[in-house]
Amino acid sequence: MLAGILTVALLAAPLGVQAQQAGKVARIGYLSPFPAAADSAQLEAFRQGLRALGHVEGQNVVIETRHADSDLNRLADQAAELVRLNVDVIVAASTTAVRAVQGATRTVPIVMAFAGDPVGERFVATLARPGGNITGLSATVPEMAAKRLEYLKSIAPTLTRVAHLSPTGTARTVMAETEAAGRVLGVQITNMYVSTSGEVANAFSTMPRAHIEGVVVNLLLQPHAKQIADLALRSRLPTVSGPREFVEAGGLLAYGPDFPDLFRRAATYVDKILRGASPADLPVEQPTKFELVLHRKVARALGLTVPPSLLARVDRIIE
């Protein structure tokens, strides 16, 4: 009789509760589509968040990291590998990583460090009640894509044709929002799909024939940020993306959430799950910190004058 009660209790235990067994070292999986070097600031922010909550790597927690080095085809195998390692929770560092882990498991808790449109991607039922094994943070709010195009248009007001660069099969919601913003601003959006350095170069080679006058860069292309920034400057095309690292690599503008802050906040979800909470009951949170970053030297090189109205909104200027 007692054995039966214990069996029922274990089956009814929330996802992740096993990690709280006395003396057990928690195992956390971490999956990113980016190269380790490009992801280092985010991963360190996640580790800082864990340490602040008492989870110290090498003492009471082990982090199994997997980076796909911008090869999205590797994500599915890496996600399956983390599941086979019997981790207690998996942190997915992008929309594509969440999709890969979702395909690998419907039982291991998954924390989105950031994801675009988790409801539209069918990662969760609703933001308030995820309802499955996935929760975490959304990296977007509805007006973010429109704001990026608006800022690009404000610094280059004559823009009428803009390329939207993104990896194949990603950013459907962001593309739709960018196209909608383009209709309002009188800008025609041309979607270009690139995943490799060669494809990035080919895309820029076709832009003159398409009369492209500016470029919006999907944040998943951050590993190619330096190449994109260099080609854009050589082609005299103003650019905008999400992470400030894009501007640090030589891009013109960046507007988006504070990504290290999202990864620090992801640690709070991991902490709650390791303490027995169910992902189904943890509401998905949206960004609370945003920043607009400008590279003034690039603006000067492109012959652009930064209007006072835009300059007043800039949070950080890179000279």
Residues 209 and 97 in one domain: no
Please indicate, yes or no, if residue 10 is contained in any of the structural domains.
Answer: no
Residues 170 and 243 in one domain: yes
Residues 99 and 177 in one domain: no
Residues 111 and 200 in one domain: no
Predicted confidence at residue 128, as pLDDT, reads 95
Look up the domain containing 75 and give its range. 15-140+258-289
Report the predicted TM-score, pTM, of the whole model to 2 decimal places.
0.77
Please indicate, yes or no, if residue 5 is contained in any of the structural domains.
Answer: no
Residues 111 and 198 in one domain: no
Predicted confidence at residue 23, as pLDDT, reads 61
Residues 243 and 161 in one domain: yes
Residues 110 and 131 in one domain: yes
Residues 215 and 266 in one domain: no
Please indicate, yes or no, if residue 8 is contained in any of the structural domains.
Answer: no
Long-range contacts made by residues 46-52, C-beta under 8 angstroms, separation at least 24? 46/91, 46/113, 46/263, 46/264, 46/266, 46/267, 47/267, 48/264, 48/267, 49/263, 49/264, 49/265, 49/266, 49/267, 49/268, 50/267, 50/270, 50/271, 52/264, 52/267
CATH code for the domain in which residue 182 is found: 3.40.50.2300
Please indicate, yes or no, if residue 4 is contained in any of the structural domains.
Answer: no
Residues 191 and 312 in one domain: yes
Q: CB 31: neighbour CB atoms within 10 A?
A: 27
The per-residue pLDDT string of the chain (319 residues; one tens digit each, 9 = 90 and over) reads: 444 444 444 444 444 444 444 568 999 999 998 889 888 989 999 999 999 999 999 899 999 999 998 787 899 999 999 999 999 999 999 888 999 999 999 999 999 998 877 887 899 999 999 999 999 998 777 678 889 999 999 999 999 999 999 887 665 677 788 889 999 999 999 999 998 899 999 999 999 999 999 999 988 788 889 999 999 999 999 999 988 889 999 999 999 888 889 999 999 999 999 999 999 999 999 888 889 999 999 999 999 999 999 999 999 999 8
How many distinct structural domains can be found in the chain? Answer: 2
Phi, psi of 180 (to 5 degrees): -65, -40
Residues 213 and 285 in one domain: no
41 contact partners, CB below 8 Å, separation of at least 6: 245, 259, 260
Please indicate, yes or no, if residue 6 is contained in any of the structural domains.
Answer: no
Please indicate, yes or no, if residue 2 is contained in any of the structural domains.
Answer: no
Please indicate, yes or no, if residue 3 is contained in any of the structural domains.
Answer: no
Predicted confidence at residue 116, as pLDDT, reads 76
Identify the residue whose tokens are 């949070």.
315
Residues 56 and 179 in one domain: no
Could you tell me the CA-to-CA distances from 3 to 11, 18, 87 in Å, in that order? 12, 18, 26
Please indicate, yes or no, if residue 221 is contained in any of the structural domains.
Answer: yes
Residues 24 and 132 in one domain: yes
Dihedral sign of CA atoms 143, 148, 149, 155 in order: positive
